[in-house]
Chain A
Amino acid sequence: QVHLVESGGGLVKPGGSLRLSCAASGFAFSDYYMTWIRQAPGKGLEWVSHISTAGLIISYADSVKGRFTISRDNAYNSLDLEMNRLRAEDTAIYYCARSRITSSGWDPYDYWGQGTLVTVSS
């Protein structure tokens, strides 16, 4: 049974930092790209960042580039997102999700965590 469990969300002041984690189980973690996707209250889905299977390919949305850092530890089946210089517009539920690249192209995000809420407010 595939499980993705996010943690680390909470209330933080503008300019502050937070570290999110995603614990994975039930699948070969090192075979999958891992992604952070966020959803602001009442809004749609926004891709934040992803990291390749071995961590060699990393991409960020323009809105978080230079402030957020994604990382993974395949030995511990974990994914992290270090978030610095947080802004009010970073307030959202943050989901981790898995996907793969195949010969047919990119698979969908077939498993998502339940999400962790980050609130940036003074």
Chain B
Amino acid sequence: SYVLTQPPAVSVAPGQTARVTCEGDNIGVKSVHWYQQRPGQAPVVFIYQDTNRPSGIPDRISGSNSGNMATLTINRVDAGDEADYYCHVWDSDRSRPVFGGGTKLTVL
């Protein structure tokens, strides 16, 4: 089955850039969605179809996808960005969705 690998944790100082990666076999040909989940809350779409931001998501948030890696980039990080982030793709071979294991972003 298709596997998505994320680093368990990423730490970054306020004002710096955070990059959360999602690794998968030839993931660049798939459409990647990202979710943000704050403690005690349901996940929320953060980036969809590799690079698109839902309304209300600021433009300091971006996504990219190429080769074997998709990346969620958060510029000018602040304390409000502390959350868990999950990538998600559709596994066409098994006709089912797959989630990455999640990355906890900590703002130092």
Contact = CB atoms under 8 A, between A and B. Distances in A.
Determine chain B's interface SS by DSSP, over half rule: strand
25 contacts: A44-B84, A44-B86, A45-B88, A45-B99, A45-B102, A47-B96, A47-B98, A50-B96, A59-B96, A95-B42, A95-B43, A106-B90, A106-B97, A107-B48, A108-B45, A108-B49, A108-B88, A109-B35, A109-B88, A110-B54, A112-B42, A112-B44, A113-B42, A114-B42, A115-B42
Range, interface on chain B = 20 to 34
A2 to B, nearest CB: 12
Nearest to A108: B33
A104 interface: yes
Range, interface on chain A = 20 to 34
Interface string A45-56: 111001000000
A61 interface: yes
